[in-house]
Structure 1
Amino acid sequence: MQREDPDVFALQETKSINENFPIDAIKEQGYHVSFTGQKTYNGVATISKSPIETISSSLPNYDDEQRRVLAINTVGITVLNIYIPNGSEVNSEKYKYKLKWLSKLHPFVNNLQNRNERLIILGDFNIAPEDRDVHAPEEWVGSVLVSKPERDEFKKLLSHGLIDCFRIFNQEKGNFSWWDYRAASFRRNRGVRIDHILASNSMSKSCHACYIDKNPRKLERPSYHTPVVAEFD
C-alpha cells in the first residue's frame, strides 16, 4: 500500500478468519475494506480508498463453504474479487468442483452487469487462457490451468462482454504472474499467467495501462504470485 498507493486492490488466499483480519491496520492507512475468510484456506479481501458497499460474499444459489468470492461497489464501480479453485488434477473431484464453481459464476456475472455496466472482475483465476500464457505449453498438456474445459469457461466469461485488460496492451508470450519456487522458475521465467483483470466494455475504454509488476516476486520469501495492475481514467 505504501509503495504503490493504489486506489483499489484485491487480495486472494488471505487464509484468515474474519475475527483475525487486520481491519484496524488497514484503516490506519486510510483505506476501507471488505473481506470474507476462513481458517487456513481461501479468503478474499478488497481494499479501497473510497467507501465500500458490500454486495455479496458468496455465489448466489450455490451452497459453498469455501470463501472465494466478494462483490463490492466503490466509486460507482462494481468490483468482483474471485479466487477460482485450482482443480488439483484433471478429472479429480477438485477439478469437477472447479468446473461446477465456474458454471455458478456466470449467472452472478450477468446479474452484476445488469445492475451496473461499470464492472471489473479480478483475482486468481487459476486458468491460463492460451498457450502463450504458459512457459512451455507442451509440458502442460493434460494439466489443470490449461485444460480445454477450463479455457472454455474463461472464454465464456469474455463472452459476457468482458475484456482481458492485460491483452489490450501486450500481445506477447512469456508474460506470467505465477512461478513455482522450485527449479529457479522465476529466474528462468518458467511461469503461467493465471491472475487477471477483466473489465466490461465501458470500463475497458477508460483503461490506459495494465501490466504485471514482478518486483514483489523478487523479495525474500515472496508469494508464488505477483500483482497485476490496471490503471483507469
Structure 2
Amino acid sequence: MKIATYNINGVNGHLPILLKWLKESQPDIVCLQELKAPQEKFPIKEITEAGYNAVWKGQKSWNGVAILSKGYDITEVQDSLPGDDEDVQSRYLEVIIEKIVICCLYIPNGNPYPGEKYEYKLSWLNRLKKRADELLDLDIPAILIGDFNIIPTPSDVYKPEKYKNDALFTEEVRKSFEGLVNSGWKDSLRSLNPDKEIYTFWDYMFKAYNRNAGMRIDHILLSPYLESRLENVGVDKEVRGWEKTSDHAPTWIKLED
C-alpha cells in the first residue's frame, strides 16, 4: 500500500499537475492540503475519472484538506481537530481506510513570529498532541500525515541559521514534533534515511528549487502498530520541477499489505 501526502497549493489551479502525478505514481491513498477551494468547488469529477474516491473539507480562498483512495472505502471519523469548537479553519480530516486511522494535517504556518498566528499554531499543536496520545492509547494502526509546517532539526533545512526566528523552526515548535516522536510516533522518512538530505518544499522565490535550497516540512508519522510494515519511503522531487507546479513535492511511504 502506497500512501502519500501532497500540499497541492490550489487543487483547481494545479489540477493538471495532480492528475499527471496520480497517473504516473499510482498511490493508493493521498492526503492533500491547501486546497484553496470551497466545498462545492472541489474537482470530484476529475478525481473520480482518475480512479479515486474522496472525502474533503474545503474552505474559500485558503486551507482545505482532502483524502483520496483508490480501491478502498473511506469512512470519515471527523473533519476538525477536537479541542476548540470555535476553530473554523479547515486543517484536519480523520478517516479510516483498511482498518488504518489516517489523520490528514495542515498545521498552521504560524508566521509572523511572535504574534497571534504563532499562538494559534502552538494551541493547534497542543490539541494535536492530545489526539495523537489518544490514538496511541488505543494501540491501533494510525498515521499522522501532511504538511506539518515544522522543520524538525537543522539538518532538515538549507541554511538553518536563516530560520532562527521563523515559526517553522522555533524551539517550541520543534519540541512539539520531538514530543510526538518521543511518545511513540515514528518519523518514517527519517527512520529509513537517518543521514540523508531530504527536502519536501522549495520556495518559489530566488530559484530555490534550482539551488536545492529546501526544507523538510511534510511528514508521515506512524503509530507503533505500523512500524514493522514500513517498506520504503520517498519524495517525488521531480514533480516540484514541473511547470506551474506546487511549491511542495509529493511525499510517500509504502507499507506491507
Indicate whether the TM-score tops 0.5. yes
Alpha-carbon distance in 2 for matches of 1:160, 1:32: 33
Query: In the alignment, what sits opposite 1:219?
Result: 242
**One-letter code aligned to 2:195:** E
Change (3 A) 1:227 1:209: same
**One-letter code aligned to 2:80:** S
Matched, 1:17 2:13: no
1:114 to partner: Cα distance: 4.0
Query: In the alignment, what sits opposite 1:132?
Result: 155
- Which of 230, 239, 243 is matched with 1:207 structurally? 230
Query: In the alignment, what sits opposite 2:76?
Result: 54
Matched, 1:102 2:125: yes
Matched, 1:38 2:59: yes
Query: In the alignment, what sits opposite 1:144?
Result: 167
Q: Which runs of structure 2 are paired with 1:71-220 in the superposition (5 Å)?
A: 71-115=94-138, 117-220=140-243
Alpha-carbon distance in 2 for matches of 1:4, 1:179: 20
**One-letter code aligned to 1:55:** V
Alpha-carbon distance in 2 for matches of 1:139, 1:226: 22
1:12 to partner: Cα distance: 0.2
Q: Say what the alpha-carbon RMSD is for the aligned residues.
A: 1.3
1:21 to partner: Cα distance: 1.1
**One-letter code aligned to 1:139:** K
The unaligned stretches of length 5 or more in structure 2 are 1-21
TM-score, length-scaled by structure 1: 0.96
Determine helix, strand or coil for the equivalent of 1:187.
helix
Determine helix, strand or coil for the equivalent of 1:59.
coil
Determine helix, strand or coil for the equivalent of 1:55.
strand
| Bigger proportion of residues as helix | 2
1:181 to partner: Cα distance: 1.3
Change (3 A) 1:61 1:143: closer
1:221 to partner: Cα distance: 1.3
Alpha-carbon distance in 2 for matches of 1:7, 1:77: 13
Q: Point out which structure has higher relative CO (alpha carbons under 8 A, 6+ apart).
A: 2
Alpha-carbon distance in 1 for matches of 2:183, 2:194: 21
Matched, 1:4 2:25: yes
1:173 to partner: Cα distance: 5.0
1:188 to partner: Cα distance: 0.9
The unaligned stretches of length 5 or more in structure 1 are none
Q: How many residues align?
A: 233
Alpha-carbon distance in 2 for matches of 1:218, 1:182: 14
Alpha-carbon distance in 2 for matches of 1:44, 1:30: 19
TM-score, length-scaled by structure 2: 0.87
Percent identity between the aligned chains? Answer: 38
1:74 to partner: Cα distance: 0.4
